[in-house]
Every structure is written in C-alpha cells, then in structure tokens.
Chains A and B, each alone.
Chain A
Amino acid sequence: MNSKTLSSWLLMVGPIMFVLVGFILWEILIGEGETAKESVALLNENTTISSLVLALGSISFISVFVGYALFAWGRAEGSTTSGTLASVASLIFVGIIALTMAATGSTWMILGSEGSDLIEAEWIYAAGDSLFPAAFWFWSLGNIILGAALFIEKKINPIASVLLIVAGAVQVIMMLDLLGDVEILWMIGFFGTLIAAIVLGFFNLKSEE
C-alpha cells in the first residue's frame, strides 16, 4: 500500500462510513436531540453504545479529511501553480482534521456526566457542535482550491476536479445563506460534497501516477 492507494480508499470509504455511522447508526442507536440538553441526555442513556458509535463516527469523519490532506500533500510543491494551490489545500485540510478532532473528541467529556456536571456537559456539547459549520465552511474552500489545482494540473480526470469546484461553490452559497434556508439545496450541497470526495478517490486510484 502506498500513499495514493491509502488516500484513494480513505476518500471513497470515509464518506460512505460517515453517512452510515453519523446519520443512520447514530439516529437508530442514540437519537438526535433538538437542544444541547436533549442531546446530552440521549448520549448518556447508554454510554457504552454512545462511546462505540462516537468512536466509529469520529474515525469515519476524520478519515475523509486525512484522505484529502494526504492527496493534496502528495501534490504540494512550490514551483508550479497547481503545486502551490495543493500546498494551501493541504494546510486547510490539516486544519480541518484538528478541528474535527476537537469537535468530535469533546463529546467524550459529556459521556457519564451527571448532577452538576450536566450544565457543563451541555456547554461542551454546544461549543463542540458549533465547530461543525466551521469544518463545512473550510471544507468547501479546500474543495475549490484543490479542484482548481487538479484542473490546472490535468493529471486526474477533469470530472473529479470540476465536481470538487462545483460542490465547493454550492456549499459556499449554502453557508452564506444566499438562497435562503432551502432544505433540498442543503441536501444537494452536502451529498454533492460527499460524492465529489468519492469520485476523487476513484479517479485517483485509477490514475497512472
């Protein structure tokens, strides 16, 4: 296994695992609270199950960005435009890795909280949860910059680079609320971003580099 194979598989498997664990498994085994208080209560109903789902969910989510960072890092070099853009993209994705580690990792502090600790647990939950929009904002910027790098480089199928740019642009529009709070557009932006990652992983694996 080399860096190309690993980054490709992380980009292909990570988003699928993230949807399976973060949305389906989480909803079935833990449940989604409307408020921080409800979410903390749900997480503490069965801390063993919550720990397992949290562990799986955090690994799945972070592995997507590890895939992006490895991929971008492999193209980072200072003498070309594509290499320079890839350097910036790799910086952004490393930043997102740290951010998502903090966001998902802070949830461990909540598990097992009781009595007077519950208030603090709700604060930690609210603060950790607030980091996810930050991750999505910079994910969209990372996608646009990496997509531009690949488009200029012309070594990977252009479908992958165009998809990254389009998915990133749609997500920027969503984050800035430019078209209002339309749920279907959110879904397109979110799932489009995940599909763009899978497509990138696929074409990277198939590339001859």
Chain B
Amino acid sequence: MNSKTLTSWLLMVGPILMFALFALIWPAIIGEGETAASDVAELMDNPQLSLIMVALGSLIFVGTISGLALLAWSKAPESGAVGALGSLSSVVFVGVAAVGIAAMGSSFGIIEEGADNAAGAEIISQVAGWGLFSGLFWFWSIGNILLGATLVVEKKLNNIVSWLFLLVGVLMALTQIVDADLGDIVEIVIWISMTVVTIAVGYFTLKSDS
C-alpha cells in the first residue's frame, strides 16, 4: 500500500460510509437531534450504542477528510500554481480534520456529561458540537475549491471530474454564505453531489499513473 492507494480508497469508501451512516443509519438508530436537548436525550437513550456510533462516525468523517488532505499534500511538492494551491488546500484540510476531531469527538464528552448533568451536556452539544460544525463546513468548502482548482490547473486527473469537484466546492460555500432557506432537498442534492464527485476523484486518482 502506498499513499496514492490509501488516498484513493479513503476518498472512494469514506463518502459512501459517511452518507450511509449520517443520512440513513444515524437518524434511524439514534435519531434526528433537532435541538441540543433532543440530541442529548437521543444519545443517552442507549449510551453504549451511541459510543459505538460516535466512534464509527468520527473514524469515517476524519478518514474522508484525511483522504482529501493526503491528496492535497501529494500536490504540494509540485512547482508553480499546482504546488501553491495544493499546499494551501492541504493546510485547510488539516485544519478541517482538527475541527472534525473536536466536533465529532465532543460527543464522547456529551455522553459522559449526560449521565448525571443533562443541562451541561446540552451546552456541550450546542457549543462544542454544532458550533464547531458550522465552521467546519465553511472551511471544507474552501478546501474543496482550492483542491478543485489544483486539479483543474494540474490537468492530470479527468478534466470533467476536476471541474465538477471545484463547482461542488463553490456550491457548498454558497450554501454557507447565502442567507436563504434552501430546504432539505437542495442540501441533500449538494451532499450527494459532493459524495459522488469525491468518489470520482478517488477513482481517477487510483487509476492515474502518478
């Protein structure tokens, strides 16, 4: 196994597992968590199951972001714009991985605190959990734009996939900065697009000669 193989598989498997876990399995087994209070109540319904789900979720999430960081990192030694954009996006993705570690990992703190202090656990859920996720999605979209631009300029990966990756990054950024209620459907479409295009980048990276 080398870095290219690991990166490719993280990018192909990570987004699928992420969608399966967070869009399908988590709401079915744990719940939707509409508010901080319901989030804590759902996690405390079955703490053992929640611990396992949090552990799995954090692994999948950080694994996917690590795949993006490793891909960006592999472009950093290149000369010119590719190296500059690759370096910049790798720094952004390392930061996103760090925030992901904090945001996902804080659920361990929620479960620990929720055993005897529900109010404290709700504060953690609101501040350390949801508070951090907002920043995470913003910088994830910035990382995708930078990495997408790297791939477009480099011209080594499939050209359409590179442009689509960049476009999805822009759409993700717009959902953060445009103050409009886009509705669940639009958000799910963007999420699925991000999932598909990341898998495609993983696939073409695996097939590439570099």
Contacts and interface: CB of A to CB of B under 8 A. Distances in A.
B53 to A, nearest CB: 10
Contacts, number: 123
Contacts of A98: 95, 98-99, 101-102
Given A79-B2, A176-B51, A138 B101 contact: yes
B102 A126 contact: no
A132 B107 CA distance: 11
Of the four ranges (under 10, 10 to 19, 20 to 34, 35 or more), the interface on chain A belongs to: 35 or more
A134 B55 contact: no
A137 B108 contact: yes
Interface in B45-81: 47-48, 51-52, 55, 58-59, 62, 66, 69-70, 73-74
A96 B128 CA distance: 15
B94 interface: yes
26 contacts: A78-B4, A78-B74, A81-B1, A84-B3, A84-B5, A91-B69, A91-B70, A94-B97, A94-B98, A96-B98, A96-B101, A98-B95, A98-B98, A124-B127, A126-B124, A129-B109, A130-B112, A131-B128, A134-B58, A134-B104, A134-B108, A135-B105, A138-B62, A138-B105, A141-B59, A176-B52
Interface in B1-39: 1-6
Contact of B102 (A35, A77, A99): A99
B43 interface: no
Contacts of B112: 130, 133
Nearest to A134: B105
A175 B98 contact: no
A80 B51 CA distance: 33
B60 to A, nearest CB: 12
Interface centre among A35, A81, A103, A131 (most CB of B within 10 A): A131
A127 B124 contact: yes
A137 B3 CA distance: 24
B154 interface: no
A177 interface: yes
A79 B3 contact: yes
A177 B124 contact: no
A130 B101 contact: no
B62 A134 contact: no
A188 interface: no
Contacts of A131: 102, 105-106, 109, 128
Given A130-B110, A133-B109, A138-B58, 4 more contacts: A91-B66, A126-B127, A130-B108, A133-B108
A193 interface: no
B113 A130 contact: yes
A192 interface: no
A20 interface: no
A130 B109 contact: yes
A131 B127 CA distance: 11
A81 B5 CA distance: 10
Interface string A83-113: 1100110011011111100110000000000
Given A134-B101, A134-B106, A84 B6 contact: yes
Contact of A95 (B52, B59, B97): B97
A36 interface: yes
Interface in B123-142: 123-124, 127-128, 131
A177 B113 CA distance: 14
